[in-house]
Structures are given as C-alpha cells and as structure tokens.
Amino acid sequence: MIARRLLIALPTLILVSIFVFGLQKLLPGDPVLVIAGEERDPQVLAYLRELYRFDDPIPLQYWAWIKQVVQGNFGASLRTGASVSALIVQKLPVTLQLAAFAMIFALGIGIPLGVFAATRKGTWVDSAVSTMALSGLSIPNFWLGIILILIVSVNFRLLPASGFVSLWEDPWRALQTMIMPAFVLGNALAATIMRHTRSSMLEVLSQDYVRTARAKGLFEPAVVWKHAFRNALIPVVSIATLLFGELMAGAVLTEQIFSIPGFGKLIVDGVFNRDYSVVQGVVLCVAVGFIAMNLLADILYVIVNPRLRGTR
C-alpha cells in the first residue's frame, strides 16, 4: 500500500514542480531589475540574466532547477544570496510549532464538542454546537486575528500581540506568543473536526454492539467513550492528519498578522521581492509535506482500523 502511494506521489510532485516553476514566470515585474537596484546598468542587467539563466528557454530553466532540487539544492535567494535550503531549515520549525499548537486547539475543541453534539442529537445543544461550527468556518482568520490583538493585547494587555519564541528556548514565553495565532488557525479546523466527529459518532451509536452494551446495563459514559468513541475516532484520525498538512500551507495570513517568521512570511516576502528561488523552494517543500501527510493518513487509517489490514 505504501509503495503504491509513493508511486502516485511521484508524478504528483513532478506536476506540482512544473506548475510552481511555470506560474512564477507569469508574475508581473522583472526580478533582474529588483536585484540590480536603482542604477540598473545595462551591463549589470545582462550579466545577471546570464548568471541566473533568465534568457534561456523556460524548459531549460526548469530542467536546470529541478536537477538541483533532486540533489537537495533549492538554489540561492535572488535578493540576499542566502541558500534557500538553509532558509527552509530555519523557518520550518517555526511553522511546525505554530501548526502543532493549532492542531492541539482544533482537537481539544472539535472532538469533545462533536461527541457532545452526537449524544444529544436533535436537542438545542446539538443545534448550538452546529451553529458554533458554522461560525468557526465562516469567520475569516485575518479578521479574528486582528480582533484578538485589539481585545487581548491592546485593551487588556494579557498576551503579546506579535513575535515568536522557540519552545526550546523559553517554553512559557513560547506558549504566550502561540496562544492567539494557534487559536486563530485552530478555530476553523475545530469546526471541521467537530462535524466529522459528530457524523462518525452518530453512525457508531446506531450500531448493534452499542445497543447491546446499553442493554447490558452499562453506564452511558462507558458506552459512549469506551465502546463508541474508539471506533468513531478512525475517520477523525485521518482527517486530522490531512488538516495538519493544510496548516503547513495555510498559515500565510496568520503569520503575517502576528509577525511570525515562518513559511508564510517567507513566501509573502519572496513574492513581493520577485525572489523566484525562495517561492519555488518553499511551495515545493509545502507540497512535499502535504503529500507526506496524505501518505501518513492512509497508513494511520489502516493501523487504527484492523478490518482494512491486508485489503490494500
């Protein structure tokens, strides 16, 4: 099963790399003019075009770039000259920390609310939780982030409005800087996880073995959490893994609002500066991470569901 997924992932990565490289060429502006600065001497412009092979046909440019990528070399930043691989290694832990905290919020909110709504189907509690989920999906991240900064940081001065501290440097300070951006990112995901948990729980609660457990006189909490929840968790594990991959790619606005120096800020700066190498490297890295999360979701689904073992 893993081998088949890897074979499918390979052409997907090739197509992603082609799109990333090709769409970059459609961006307005000339990166050579950005690199050359204000003087823009014709000889300097000609030298830069030859150095970065911008005068070559696009297929040749792509081939030269992809050969370097396969060797683990994403090139150098057109603006600063820094290694793109080094920038990715530097920024990746920042986005991973933010994504991990956001997933903790999403799971901690979504799963209990989903179970709570499923066990009270058709009541006002179910309606209230569903309304909360709809609100979580509807509220834009950038608006929620700005409101939280205004209320929590500006008005009450409870948490820092921006910045980043590594969890390994200062755990308490890292927690303070991560609470708001992680909640903003995890809020929408919590709504998605809640809806999947509720649907899965409703399906499991209608099974014969659950009715048998109730007929034996087991306490309702034991029926819900010991018998039903463990089986209902199977699809939730898969969707949570996929959502973690989305977090890696979808933190752009949140990182900008809270001034977090992760992948999101790096790619936005790369786009504005016409820094093709940085944008290509980061987007391709995010695509690899998302495909890896898809593969992990498939593996976890088979692990937690014994009925699927040997069938894929």
Residue, of 29 and 265, whose pLDDT is higher: 265
Is 122 inside any structural domain?
yes
Is 115 inside any structural domain?
yes
- How far, in whole angstroms, is CA 165 from its chain's centroid? 20
Neighbours of 262 (CB within 10 A): 27
Is 71 inside any structural domain?
no
Cα–Cα–Cα angle for 214, 217, 223, rounded to 5 degrees:
45
What would the pLDDT profile of 268-280 be if each residue is shown by its tens digit? 888 887 788 888 8
Containing structural domain, residue 106 = 84-308
Question: Percentage of the chain surpassing pLDDT 70?
Answer: 95
CA–CA dist 198, 177 (Å, integer): 32
CA–CA dist 262, 113 (Å, integer): 31
256: amino acid identity, one letter:
Q
Is 276 inside any structural domain?
yes
Is 23 inside any structural domain?
no
What confidence score (pLDDT) does residue 307 get? 62
Strands annotated E in 7-96: none
Is 197 inside any structural domain?
yes
Is 179 inside any structural domain?
yes
CA–CA dist 208, 212 (Å, integer): 6
Is 273 inside any structural domain?
yes
What confidence score (pLDDT) does residue 135 get? 84
What would the pLDDT profile of 232-247 be if each residue is shown by its tens digit? 888 888 888 888 877 8
Q: Transcribe 152-172 into DSSP letters.
A: IIIIS--S-SS----TTT-HH
Strands annotated E in the chain: none
Are 273 and 79 within 8 A, CB to CB?
yes
Instruction: Please report, for the domain that includes residue 166, its CATH number.
Output: 1.10.3720.10
Are 197 and 232 within 8 A, CB to CB?
yes
Write down the mean pLDDT value for the chain.
85
* pLDDT class of 182 with cuts at 50, 70, 90: very high
Beta bridge partners of 23: none
**Residue 76 DSSP class:** B
Torsion sign (Cα): 70, 72, 73, 77? positive
Q: How many domains does the chain have?
A: 1
What would the pLDDT profile of 288-309 be if each residue is shown by its tens digit? 888 888 888 878 777 776 666 5
**Residue range 20-25: average pLDDT?**
81
What would the pLDDT profile of 156-180 be if each residue is shown by its tens digit? 989 999 888 999 889 999 999 999 9
